[in-house]
Amino acid sequence: SGDHVLVTSTTGTIASFGGASGKDIQFIGRVRAQVGTLRAAVWSCDRYAIADSLGNLYVTGNAGETWHGGEIRAGSRVTEITFRDESTVFAVTYQDYTPTCAIGYIYRCMMGGPIVQIMPFDALPGMNSIVFADEVKGWIVGKDGKVLRSSDGGDTWTSGPSPTSRTLFKILLLNGRLY
């Protein structure tokens, strides 16, 4: 196997570079006529999810044969995408409105289904990272030390304790521990 890097072109072509030799190139698919710069990507086996600089999120569950998705919110930067389970993708975004005001959004997309905004428009500061421990428990971190937690698979999110009031950029789950 080996490490892979997912790349996109402005014509919508998606490819994977890497493999055992580090030189393997695999065409994954074409999402549409034009995509922006790749902002975030995640993949596992034959499942891929990508977000671009134009505010689009695309998902495939069949190794790129077919893609679905579309615009999530113009001007939003998708900061991270994660698979909650075999068929559900979550994305968090960050959108600057003024130098002191950033809004975050949480989106869910089921394989073959529509993209759904989970939280109300003005409920969150900018969100930077998302992780799920399993199909039920998830965490998000973002601007001003904001920590959100879900105990229902991401349907609802509540504020949790934070170690800081500074912006948190990444949350990781390693061996059952959050970092």
* Mean of the per-residue pLDDT values of the chain: 77
pLDDT of residue 54: 72
Percent of the chain with pLDDT over 90: 17
pLDDT of residue 3: 52
Is pLDDT of 26 > 60?
Answer: no
**Could you give the angle at the alpha carbon of 70 between the alpha carbons of 69 and 72, nearest 5°?**
110
Least confident of 33-42, 89-98, 122-131: 33-42
Is pLDDT of 23 > 60?
Answer: no
Structure tokens at 140: 């998000």
Is pLDDT of 18 > 60?
Answer: no
| DSSP classification of residue 87 | T
pLDDT of residue 2: 47
> pLDDT per residue over 128-152, tens digit each?
899 999 999 999 998 889 899 999 9
| Amino acid making up residue 91 | A
Is pLDDT of 22 > 50?
Answer: no
Q: How far is CA 139 from CA 54, 96, 98, 156, 166, in A?
A: 26, 22, 26, 11, 17
> pLDDT per residue over 49-88, tens digit each?
888 777 778 888 877 777 777 777 666 778 888 999 988 9
pLDDT of residue 133: 93
Measured between alpha carbons, how far is 118 from 166 in angstroms, rounded to an integer? 24
Q: How far apart are the first and last CA of the chain?
A: 27
